[in-house]
A and B are shown apart, each in its own frame.
Chain A
Amino acid sequence: MGGFVRGRMIARRIIQALPVLFGVVLVTFLLTRALPGDPAAYFAGPAADAKSIAQIRESLGLDRPLPEQFWLYLKDLATGDLGVSISTGQPVMAELARRLPASLELTLGALLISLAIAVPMGVLAATRPGRPIDHFCRILATAGVSLPTFFTGLALLFIFYYLLGWAPAPIGRLDFAYLPPDPVTGFYVIDALLAGDTETAVAAFSQLILPMATLALFTLAPITRMTRGAMLQALGSDFIRTAKAAGLSRRKIIGRYAFQNAMLPVVTTLGMVFSFTLGANVLVEKVFAWPGIGSFAVEALVVSDYAAVQGFVLSMALLFVCLNLAIDILYTLIDPRVSIDG
């Protein structure tokens, strides 16, 4: 029964994501058309002459009515055409695809670290209210959200690169002395390990560690705060009192009953945390010269490369919608109430 109900709920979540997806594409389209003055001139770049601007206008369909332009935009999107980046001369799609693994390696790594630290810490704090670990968590929760990521990144860089010399120079994903491993997943550390090249894997990991720590520090606070709050609420509820009265062990009460229920609100907040992480990612990539899509967008912004910027905004939004969908599905899978209702 439970499996069937879950399957139907997952299908419903996917259908619910469709209007959001449409909204995202529409907003990105309107942003590209809301450029002050002549969008064609912006897309052609500052060096373009009248003829190439006219050409761009025609190729973008800017001389046609807005709904028709939107239809053309959708058709281009469907074929993966996001326009051409003026700064590199390459299709924006290809540029983004080339840089996406670098960003994902950083973001996902940071989230994994942060979850691995924040969730146990939140649980510890909630099960020991008023004790030092609890106070520490509360300070961390307020202090952590006050940290400007670009500033923590620089501080870590100064301490671990300049003062201590433990970390390598912030020159991207891999020192020049090493060749990038054959791409399988696009993640250098995993690819190098797959190729059996531990030396390159260590080198790639040492480049990754500071930017990853910066992002992880940023996400630590909200996840800890949420875990602590959710655990406190779960521990105060009636079913825990019943479980205690029935004489279940503390380990079973906290580990199974309270934790499983507390994870639901935590998983829900992960969506918001992702949103902030994808934004913070841009700043961290700039600080560490990380060749991901964030630093690509920042470079594009500086030279007014609009096709690249809009492609970036759209792809980040699509990534975020997919992540949220994944979270919703995960929620459905771990929610213990679903199988009971079914």
Chain B
Amino acid sequence: MDEPAAETALPSNAGFARRSLYILSANPVSFVALGGFGLIVLAAVFGPWLAPYDPLLTDAAIALQAPTAAHWFGTDQLGRDVFSRVLVATRLDLTISVLAVALSFVVGAGIGTMAGYYGGRADRIASRVVDTIMAFPLFVLAMGIVAAMGNSVENIIYATAIINVPFYARVARAEANIRRNAGFVQAAKLSGNSGMRIVGMHLFPNALPPMAVQASLNLGWAILNAAGLSFIGLGVKPPTPEWGIMVAEGANFIVSGEWWLALFPGGALMITVFTFNLMGDALRDIVDPRKRT
């Protein structure tokens, strides 16, 4: 409820970019999130070149050292540089979650728009499938899927994608359903467009904005989920640097006071998810002002 009066003062013919900027400026946190997002993407792209040490290089002589000027985040039980490992891990963690979200976006959009447009039996089958997925505690289902399909990074991506499909399918279905008899759809039908073409060219683009919001809100959760799976020993194998597995390895040293092993990868994970969630909120403010909190 940020000053609704000021919002109406903005001329309705203002451009999309100006309008977005205007909405974002009401909430300066969005810019912080945007900056953080830029840094995370930079770390993901250039991480391996920026890292001061080889993330896999072991050196028993300097094992378990607290943070120093030479090793900003300290060293782990094998003498590897924690800072380099946290930095290099960014790419893998982002890749897993972005691929998973993209996959569930595409599949969910397809299933949802078709179910919403065609209705009837297709709709009933799709809804049943979605309901069945949602009937599982999602993280537990992901565990079961990875266990069944095999313990690999690829399958972590598939499992994360499957448990996210329902959210996209529901949004897409609702958006397609309210427009299935709209004027422009009937016009398209009368001018001889096929059902698939209407779904793809007319209904899907309309469902895009709310689905984009869903995706950005979903991204943080996908990272948490993938990191959680590798925390319990699924997917990524040591010594690959990945945040979840680094926290898992560091967990054994927490009770003896070596906090830096788990804190830095865990902190990186937390900040990344937080940044993505803030971005999602900002995007939602732009797309759907009614849902502002």
Residue numbers of A with Cβ under 8 A of B are: 19-20, 23-24, 26-28, 31-32, 34-36, 129-130, 138, 141-143, 145-151, 154-155, 157-158, 161-162, 169-170, 225, 228-229, 232, 274-280, 282-283, 286-287, 297-298, 301-302, 306, 309-310, 312-313, 316-317, 320-321, 324
Contacts and interface: CB of A to CB of B under 8 A. Distances in A.
A142 B274 contact: yes
Given A162-B255, A162-B257, A316-B140, A23 B128 contact: yes
A151 B270 contact: yes
Given A36-B149, A147-B270, A157-B255, A24 B143 contact: no
A278 B281 CA distance: 26
13 contacts: A26-B132, A35-B148, A141-B293, A142-B278, A146-B274, A148-B270, A154-B262, A161-B255, A162-B257, A232-B1, A279-B142, A302-B233, A306-B148
Given A147-B270, A154-B266, A279-B228, A297 B254 contact: no
| Range for the number of chain B residues in contact with chain A | 35 or more
A129 B293 CA distance: 11
Interface string B250-293: 11001111010011001101100110011001000000000001
Choose among A26, A28, A129 the residue with the greatest number of B CB atoms under 10 Å from its CB. Answer: A28
A287 B136 CA distance: 23
Given A150-B247, A151-B269, A23 B233 contact: no
B137 interface: yes
Given A31-B148, A298-B233, A154 B137 contact: no
A20 B234 CA distance: 28
A309 B144 contact: yes
Contact of A283 (B142, B220, B232, B269): B232
Interface string B217-233: 00011001001100111
Contacts of A301: 143, 147, 151, 232-234
A279 B139 contact: yes
A168 to B, nearest CB: 11
Nearest first, the 3 closest Cβ-Cβ pairs linking A and B are A279-B139, A23-B132, A151-B266
Contact of A145 (B133, B244, B267, B277): B277
Nearest to A137: B293
B138 A276 contact: yes
Choose among A32, A142, A277 the residue with the greatest number of B CB atoms under 10 Å from its CB. Answer: A142
Contacts, number: 164
B232 A274 contact: no
A35 B144 CA distance: 11
Interface of B: 1, 128, 131-145, 147-151, 220-221, 224, 227-228, 231-234, 244, 247-248, 250-251, 254-257, 259, 262-263, 266-267, 269-270, 273-274, 277-278, 281, 293
Given A138-B293, A147-B270, A148-B227, A275 B138 contact: yes
A274 B137 contact: yes
A24 B147 CA distance: 17
Nearest to A129: B1
Contacts of A19: 128
A154 B293 contact: no
Nearest to B272: A146
B139 A280 contact: yes
Given A146-B220, A157-B255, A313-B140, A321 B147 contact: no
Nearest to B221: A145
B277 A142 contact: yes
A148 B232 contact: no
A283 B274 contact: no
Contacts of A287: 251
B293 A229 contact: yes
Contacts of B267: 151
Given A24-B132, A298-B233, A278 B139 contact: yes
Contact of A282 (B1, B140, B262): B140
Contacts of B244: 148, 150
A287 B145 CA distance: 22
Contacts of A309: 143-144, 147
B144 A282 contact: no
A42 to B, nearest CB: 9
A154 B247 contact: yes
